[in-house]
Structure 1
Amino acid sequence: MFFDPTYILVIIGAVLCIAASSRVNSTYRKYSKVRSRSGMTGAEAARRILQLSGINDVQIQHIAGDLTDHYDPTHKVLRLSDSVYGSRSVAAIGVAAHECGHALQHKEGYAPLKIRAMLVPAANIGSKLGLPLVILGIILGIGFRLPGGGYFSLAQIGVWVFFFAVLFQIVTLPVEFNASGRALKMLGNYGMLGNDEVNDCRRVLGAAALTYVAAAASSLLQLLRLLYLSNSRRRD
């Protein structure tokens, strides 16, 4: 066995993701104890936001789990988790509004959301096959001769495949930040929360945004690692 110095990149990425996850969980727990003055549940808040935004073709469903909330643009369904659907907290309303922000993006044809949707198949393949292809390419030394006389290794192919997973994470950032911005604006403009409550929601959604930043950073670090490994193999 030998020490691979590139593992430090993986460790850094893991630490970032763990720290971000811990931050969002602790922030959500804090503000999930703050009951909104309106007394609305997350589901009721989502229903009202969609109605006031002129979105009448999106269903709201209850889904199991904590913070598993998401908007499904394919079926036009907004799914709210156990900790959001029936909760009357400021945190729950903020998360529900964030998902409504995605529904509004879909309605308006928000470009980054469209790009992210197109990247889903390639990103899924990249996240599953990128690393195995690089490892196989390094171990077996498999490559392909190009018609022009060049050479393309399996490890290099793995890097390019994994690149789409990284690209997906990067494109996700503006999508999530924009959805949070829309959510805070709608909660204020529609008079659903007071200014202090909107600020509480901002803290919750800001902490949640860090998880996407950490995921993107972790993916970029992994890509750098794979590039280093594939190039080292080519030099050898």
Structure 2
Amino acid sequence: MRFNALNQEYYDIMGKAGFRFILYGMESGNQKTLDKLDKGTKEADAINGPRMARKAGLDPHITIMLGYPWESYKDAQRTIAIAKYAFKKGYYETMQATIVIPYPATPLWKECREKGWLLTENYDDYDMRSPVMKIPFSRQKLLELEQDLYSCFMTPQYITRKVLGIRSVHDFMYLFYMGKKLIGHLLDFDPNQTKVSRLSPAFWKNAVHKLGKHFVTPKTSVDTEKSAIRLVDSAVNL
């Protein structure tokens, strides 16, 4: 669903009807990318929509991509900052992050062919774990950004909510399962993908650093922009 598709009234109806899981395609936290992808949304919608969904008792799952050819390193950091802010505030419940892949027959694929952005046309490499397009910064930095994105939920506020939310063994096992999935994602995007494993000391040192960094510095650039992000109902676009 797009972030600005519903207002609070519609989310409340979904909650009362028994809906729980809701998936949003954020894709990017940069307006120029949202416009280029014809998303029809604004940056603030990435906060407003899930905020209303959570108020209605829904669990927002967000999909995000990094590695657009026209986005700078700073642009990618902006996307991470928005996601981190939303996790900290409790607006996002879970997330899936990948690297942008230009699949054949899509407008992005056509643009890549026209502008010479493709690094390979070997479809075995199109697994969303490594860039196949030219970007303004290195492959290693992109993989590090993906790890940052998967780590950004690790704020005291989010962790406290999760711990206090444990009501049964099932809840504990679910968090344990999600922890295993997180480690898998961090391993997927390790800059030394073919040289590390779950048993690698280098991998664990890097993982602890990534997670710890977000825990000790929960504040983001978005926190200073609250006045610019109007937390109001979005217009209904049905």
Is the TM-score greater than 0.5?
no
Structure possessing the higher radius of gyration over alpha carbons:
1
The alignment's TM-score, normalised by the length of structure 1, stands at 0.29
The alignment's TM-score, normalised by the length of structure 2, stands at 0.28
More helix by share: 1
